[in-house]
Amino acid sequence: MTRSATPKLAGYAGLSGVGLLTALVFVRPEVVALTAPFLLALAAGLALATPPKLAAGVGVERERAIEGDEVGGHVVVSSSTPVDRLDLYLRLPDGVELVDGTNPVALRLAAGESRRLDFTLRAAHWGAYVIGPLYLRARDPLGFLVWEQTAATRSDVRVYPREEVLQRIVQPRETQVSSGNEVSRRKGEGIEFADVRPWAAGDPLNRINWRASARGGELWVNESHPERNTDVIFFVDSFAEARRGREGTLDLTVRATSALADAYVGRRDRVGLISFGGILRWLAPGAGTVQLYRMVDALLDTEVILSHYWREIDVIPRRTLPPNALVIALSPLLDPRSVGALLDLHARGHDLAVFDVSPVPFTARPQGKLDAIAYDIWILRHDALRHRLQRAGIAVAEWNDDAPLQAAVEEVRAFRRYARHARV
Amino acid sequence: MLALGAIGAIVAYAGATGGRLAPLADGAGTLGLALLTVAIVLRLPAVVPWAIIVTAGGYLAGREGRALVDGWAAVVGVLLLLAAELALWSIDHDDRIRAERSLTVRRVVTLTALTAAALLVNFGLLGAAAVAAPAGFVLATAGIAAAVTAVAVVLRLARA
């Protein structure tokens, strides 16, 4: 706790000193009469000033919330000494708004009194937030001294992005060996009919196709496609973003990644994350709800960090990009390093789909003639970049906040269904 | 507004008493009023003491040449304190901080008690000065300082 004097203390002390000196010099009792009230106030104020002994804490009802949720919280403050005026200010981060309650607030505490102040916050934007710190400022009854303290306790709130529900997702070309919901292209034990073949020793009787056997004069058995799981790796481009106000391409990227990951985890697929940017982060593939939480937590910490280091995909740990995994890249295609990495991934044979999180809605066409031309050229170059990826055989869909994510997913699905493989 | 009213009352009183330096008293009083206005409007607490000094100087200029001790000096001193307190309260006030009603009530009570105590001390001071004048003014001042210290000690003990 730090103690400091207010300007009032210096002012009154100065007035008292000057007044008494003037009284002595001019020998006028009136001067003492003018000075005495200030001297009295000063003496009374300092006599009544007691250093406060405060204890304070901040708490929130829950540590996890979805965008738009309201979260209750409270501040508890107590003092073993009387505090005539106590100012409390709880610092709230951007993205969290106060809905109910007062902040800052001034109150009075008697000796031994404890007060609880309730408030309601609204999680306006996804992210990992720290509620606090709580600043306390106590004053003596006459306002000569101020004690300031910062409460050490803080509360964390993780706000998850509001997810879009997807009806269909991008299907990978290859499946893994574990059971899942994706019908494999390979033949094996499963439900979906694949083909018929001549009977071989060891084939169970219930797989014999009696109709085909009667026509062919020998035993034929049905073959089927097994249901397998898949590995999906989300490649989040965090090299650069376009931002206007509180919304930017990174926000859309996080929302889309979260929605897609939720859909894949629901199908018992394994999901992983590579945040490719100024700082490389990754999460090895895993399945289940815990993995989904891990992924979203990792996404909340994603931020654009400026870096001039030329990063290539060699820096990505090998186990985070398992063979036959579907790589879903979400990128505003603003940085040549990320575009190069995508082409490199495709050239190395990874199954790749790209969601171009369009930066165009976050920009405005300039008024000046030359600036407007430059802007148009930039848009054309961005389109050309997308077409370059498509020409390489990569499924690319442009997506912005105005359109549902499902539309972009369908565009990628259609491209992958009809496109031919191309060599790059 | 109350702070400006208190200063205005002092300026009016100083002007009404006349004296050889009445124009100087009026000028100083007006300057004090202007300084206090500036301090409140621009939220400059450091200017408040200067406004008080200038206003007090104007009052004393109005008393120049009068041998008789002014009994109203006690009230003038309390008005100066009241003006300073109200001006600093106004400067301190921040609309963003929602204060409980009891805080305002308590501050008003504290201010009233302070001005009442100051008035009592001042009347005692002027009375003592009239009695102790032959014995020496320095002694009277020391006596008042001792009285104020005694009040402070009593308050401190009461607080503990």
Task: Give the ipTM of the model, two decimals please.
Answer: 0.84
Calculate the alpha carbon distances from A150 to A59, A79, A117, B101 in Å. Answer: 15, 14, 17, 25
pLDDT above 70: residue B144:
no
Q: How far out from the chain centre does Cα A375 lie?
A: 30
Contacts with B79 (C-beta within 8 Å, 6 or more apart), sequence order:
B6, B7, B9, B10
Give dist(CA B69, CA A182) in Å, integer: 104
Looking at residue A344, its pLDDT comes to 87
Chain B residues in contact with A19 by the CB 8 A cut-off are 56
One digit per residue, pLDDT tens: chain A, 424 residues? 888 989 898 889 888 888 888 887 777 778 888 888 998 998 888 888 888 999 999 999 998 898 889 999 999 999 999 999 999 999 999 889 999 988 899 999 998 999 999 999 999 888 889 898 999 999 998 999 999 999 877 788 989 888 778 889 998 888 887 887 878 888 888 888 889 999 999 888 888 999 999 988 899 999 988 888 899 999 998 888 888 887 889 889 988 999 999 999 988 899 999 988 877 888 889 998 898 888 888 888 777 666 666 666 666 777 778 888 999 999 999 988 888 888 888 888 889 999 999 999 999 999 999 999 999 999 999 999 999 998 888 999 999 888 899 999 999 999 988 765 555 5
pLDDT above 80: residue B3:
no
pLDDT above 80: residue B16:
no
Give dist(CA A200, CA A219) in Å, integer: 9
Looking at residue A180, its pLDDT comes to 79
- Count A/B contacts: CB-CB distance under 8 Å: 149
Q: How far out from the chain centre does Cα A191 lie?
A: 40
Give dist(CA B8, CA B11) in Å, integer: 5
Give dist(CA B149, CA B145) in Å, integer: 6
Q: Is A236 exposed, middle or buried (0-12, 13-18, 19+ CB in 10 A)?
A: buried
Pick from B85, B104, B105 the residue to mutate for testing the A interface (most A CBs within 10 Å).
Answer: B85
Q: Do A47 and B155 touch (CB under 8 A)?
A: yes
Contacts with B53 (C-beta within 8 Å, 6 or more apart), sequence order:
A15, A18
How many degrees, rounded to 5, is the angle at CA B115 between CA B110 and CA B116? 95
Looking at residue A106, its pLDDT comes to 93
Looking at residue A245, its pLDDT comes to 82
Looking at residue A31, its pLDDT comes to 85
Q: Is A124 exposed, middle or buried (0-12, 13-18, 19+ CB in 10 A)?
A: middle
First to last CA, chain B: 36
For residue B136, the tally of other CB atoms under 10 A from its CB is: 11
Nearest CB among A37, A84, A105 relative to B122 is that of A37
* DSSP 8-state symbol, A162: P
Looking at residue A308, its pLDDT comes to 63
Higher pLDDT, A376 or B134: A376
Chain B residues in contact with A41 by the CB 8 A cut-off are 81, 85, 114, 118
Chain B residues in contact with A39 by the CB 8 A cut-off are 145, 148
Give dist(CA A16, CA A263) in Å, integer: 75
Q: Do A29 and B102 touch (CB under 8 A)?
A: no
Looking at residue A304, its pLDDT comes to 63
For chain B, the structural domain boundaries read 1-93, 99-160
Residue B9's identity, in one-letter code, is A
A228, A176 Cβ separation under 8 angstroms = yes
pLDDT above 70: residue B151:
no
For residue A219, the tally of other CB atoms under 10 A from its CB is: 15
Of A149, A49, A48, A139, nearest to B88 by C-alpha is A139
pLDDT above 70: residue B160:
no
| Structure token pair of residue A43 | 């003496």
A54, A78 Cβ separation under 8 angstroms = yes
Place of tokens 């102790």: B132
Looking at residue A331, its pLDDT comes to 93
* Helices assigned H by DSSP within B18-63: 22-41, 48-62
Of A251, A231, A216, nearest to A358 by C-alpha is A251
Q: Is B139 exposed, middle or buried (0-12, 13-18, 19+ CB in 10 A)?
A: exposed
| Structure token pair of residue A194 | 């694949």
Of A115, A116, A129, nearest to A71 by C-alpha is A129
- B29-72 pLDDT per residue, tens: 889 889 989 999 999 999 999 999 999 988 888 877 666 667 78
A59, A84 Cβ separation under 8 angstroms = no
| Structure token pair of residue B50 | 């200067």
| Structure token pair of residue A62 | 């829950």
Residue A97 C-beta-side C-alpha neighbours within 13 Å: 10
Task: Output the DSSP codes for A342-390.
Answer: HHHHHHTT-EEEEEEE-SGGG----SSHHHHHHHHHHHHHHHHHHHHHH
Average pLDDT, chain A: 87
Residues written for chain A: 424
B116, B81 Cβ separation under 8 angstroms = no
* A-contacting residues in B 3-62 (Cβ below 8 Å): 45-46, 48-49, 52-53, 56, 59-60
Instruction: Indicate the pLDDT class of residue B138, thresholds 50, 70 and 90.
Output: low
| Structure token pair of residue A30 | 């009136």
Calculate the alpha carbon distances from A342 to A238, A351, A379 in Å. Answer: 13, 11, 20
d(CA B131, nearest CA chain A) in Å: 11
| Structure token pair of residue A312 | 């290539």
| Structure token pair of residue A276 | 């490719």
Chain B residues in contact with A48 by the CB 8 A cut-off are 155-156, 159
Pick from A32, A90, A107 the residue to mutate for testing the B interface (most B CBs within 10 Å).
Answer: A32
| Structure token pair of residue A106 | 């001034």
How many degrees, rounded to 5, is the angle at CA A131 between CA A100 and CA A52? 90
Higher pLDDT, A267 or B19: A267
- A247-290 pLDDT per residue, tens: 889 889 988 999 999 999 988 899 999 988 877 888 889 998 89
Strand residue runs (E) in chain B:
98-99
A367, A343 Cβ separation under 8 angstroms = no
d(CA B28, nearest CA chain A) in Å: 16
Nearest CB among A10, A28, A39 relative to B148 is that of A39
Give dist(CA A401, CA A256) in Å, integer: 10
Global pTM exceeds 0.90: no
- B75-130 pLDDT per residue, tens: 999 999 999 999 999 998 888 898 888 899 999 999 999 999 999 988 887 777 66
